[in-house]
Amino acid sequence: MKLVVVTAGLTQPSSTRLLADRLTEATVRRLADRPAEAAMGRLGDRPTEAAEAAEAAEAAEAAEAAEGRLGDRLADAIVQRPGDRAAGWSDEGAPEVRVIELRDLAVDIANNFVTGFPGARLREAIEAVTEADGLIAVTPVFSASYSGLFKSFFDVMDPASLVGKPTLIAATGGTPRHSLVLEHALRPLFAYLRAMVMPTAVYAASEDWGGGGDDFADGLAERIDRAATELADLLRNRTPASATEAEVVPFEQQLAALRR
Partner 1 sequence: MQFGIFSVGDVTMDPTTGRTPTEHERIKAMVAIAVKAEEVGLDVFATGEHHNPPFVPSSPTTLLGYIAAKTERLTLSTATTLITTNDPVKIAEDFAMLQHLADGRVDLMLGRGNTGPVYPWFGQDIREGIPLAVENYALLHRLWREDVVDWEGRFRTPLQGFTATPRPLNGVPPFVWHGSIRSPEIAEQAAYYGDGFFANNIFWPKEHFIRLITLYRQRYAHYGHGTPEQAIVGLGGQVFMRKNSQDAVREFRPYFDNAPVYGHGPSLEEFTEETPLTVGSPQQVIDRTLTFRESFGDYQRQLFLMDHAGLPLKTVLEQLDILGEEVVPVLRREFAANRPAGVPDGPVHTTRDRLTA
Query: Interface with partner 1 by CB under 8 A: which residues?
Result: 110-111, 113-117, 119-120, 246, 248-252, 254-255, 257-258
Nearer Cβ to partner 1 (117/192): 117
Q: Name the minimum Å distance from CB 105 to partner 1.
A: 13
Q: Which of 232, 140, 150 is nearest to 179 (CA)?
A: 140
Instruction: Give 74-80 contacts, CB < 8 A, sequence gap 24+.
Output: 74/25, 74/28, 74/29, 74/32, 77/28, 78/21, 78/24, 78/25, 78/28
Q: How far is it, in rounded angstroms, from Cα 31 to Cα 12?
A: 29
Q: Name the minimum Å distance from CB 63 to partner 1.
A: 44
Nearer Cβ to partner 1 (216/251): 251
Q: Are 232 and 30 a contacting pair, CB within 8 Å?
A: yes
Q: Name the minimum Å distance from CB 246 to partner 1.
A: 7
Nearer Cβ to partner 1 (175/254): 254
Q: How far is it, in rounded angstroms, from Cα 94 to Cα 84?
A: 13
Nearer Cβ to partner 1 (48/115): 115
Q: Name the minimum Å distance from CB 147 to partner 1.
A: 21
Helix, strand or coil, per DSSP, at residue 86: coil
